[in-house]
Structure 1
Amino acid sequence: MADGDPPGGTPRDVVVFGVVISALSVGLAIVHLIWPGLRIDAVTLALLVVAVVPWLGRIFASVELPGGWKLEYREFKRTVERELTEKQQQVRDLSQRIDRVEQFVFTGDAAPERATRLRGVLEAFQEYLAGLGYRSEAPLPRIHIGPLDDAAISSVYSDTNAFYYGARNLIVVGRSLADDPSVLLREYSHHILDDLAPGAAGNWTSGGITDAASIHSALADYLPCSFQDDPCFGRAAAGAQRCLRDLSLVVRADSVDGDRHTPQQAGWVWASAFWEIRAGVGAAVLDPVLLDGWRHYPAVTSPEGAAAALIDRIVEAFPEAGNAFANRGLRSI
């Protein structure tokens, strides 16, 4: 029933239509009385019928005309609506297919089966990131496995190293790490984090515990582990060590000193805190907050101030997170 229709009564548009038809009929009768000699030819009558017939669908399901013609109004309406819905779905499907046209490109020691396997992992990781609210128009990085004949890259390449070269939108993975998806996902996470907060990790690069590069590294460890639901980062690459970094451990800030004072080791402290918080609130709740926190990483005058602001942001969302930071010596920053 339309708004304003009387309960159990006739729909308003039908009543209005009836009034209009009655008024028109009375008007024609008056015209006939005043001008009895006025004649309506067949063409005029046909035009009047054409004008009225479309509106009969408000009253009748169908109208039969002389000669066997039958107009099924309501069925016609349903058919049009159904076809329109199908066309809209086809447009959505086409749009989704277009979105998936761009694929990760592998070069170097990337046999077809290896490239297919790793591409599948990356695409699944993209879906996970999309679920966290990440959308980007940035081109996908090229992924090269093995040494590269490039002076700027060959100096830092080794078979046991992997890195993201942002200036060329390039991920380079050492041969011995190529079959560990978490390593590739870590480097792709660097690309994502740089896209979210361009230049943030370059603000301070001393490798200190509060350095933006350390937190950048922490998220690059944490996101692949959370996606895989496994706190062991670099399981396949670690060999006998079991993990390159185990996020389930309580890694304290005061353990990061001397030659271990690097973004990766300092980041481990943060990543282990994130993992403890995740255990309490769940990945679906925490991960979007972490990604958004990095997207809005505070531009302040000191790394200590930026790190403290990030902690405050997380603790404001999850008060229980304060213990995870305190247990690692981070809350006193």
Structure 2
Amino acid sequence: MVTIKDVAKLADVSIATVSRVVNGYAHVRPEVRDAVNKAIDALGYRRNGLASSFRTQQSNIVGVLLRQQRTPFSSALAYAIETTMFDQGYRVLLCSTNGDADREQAYLETMLDMRVQGIIIRPSATTARTVKQVSTLRESGVSVAFVDMKPKIASISSVVCDNFSGGYQGMRHLIELGHRKIGVVAGGIAQRGGSQDVGSERVRGIRQAAHDLADDVEIVFSHPFDTASFEVGREAGQAMITGSPGITAIFGTTDMLAIGVMHAAHALGLELPRDLSILGYDGVLESAVTFPTLSTIAQPIHEMGQIAAMTLIDHMREASKSPRQVVLENTLIQRASTIPLEI
């Protein structure tokens, strides 16, 4: 392996001079800088960024912990964070926790070992452990910001969407179209309530809208499940359509759940949306290419990722020490999958 000593020898300068050139320090004569750079190119020397970070405590590495990366929502959010960070000179370590507190802790400990400057966290379901871990990070001088979901920690910046109002807005849309027996595909934790996760907030909004806007709304919930996916949506949709006659609309609490319901409806021979209106939630790209195109409560995913990244950057650069609590609004995108109920 080529070392800094090898570069110094070839350039006929001191190791300290090579270090100053590699780390971008000023006050190096142009001819000396040129000689060092030529030696670096000739030898193929690569700076040991991790070793440098131990000395300077400035690694320019940022950790991003999301629940998972395989969903369209998570992929879009990760892309927004990563591209924003890269454009600002940072490099991102992207990890999936799968909502597992042990996995989250293992990644956070690794990131501490790697001297990351900051971390963006989509917290696991075990928020008490997340709070403890965040305290350890901050004591170690690591900047932290939450995205998509946050524990009740006022001292930590967060960027989230208003999931309660999104659920309310979606249910209002279906009620205004005349639907009264409405299926809701939501996870078990969301159905039970009492949690601060995004699904629970959406279901709270759905229930509140049904209570506020009509006296005769019947909500039929899917069988509970742990993780939302296309496959779960398809299974839940089949069970709901065959087991609950009279449902005229189904609200999937993610777009992929709703798209799964749509596939189940097609397989059962239903004509959409005449026989069944379907509404999703997230506004991912896939919602615009279904047949029929999917109406959805669209989150500003890219904006959420950008703001989370810039918020963390401001903290790392000490441009802002005050916590920032950002709540973004959703938008109803009505497409072909939801129509007025024909009586």
TM-score (norm 1): 0.26
TM-score (norm 2): 0.26
Select the structure that is richer in strand.
2
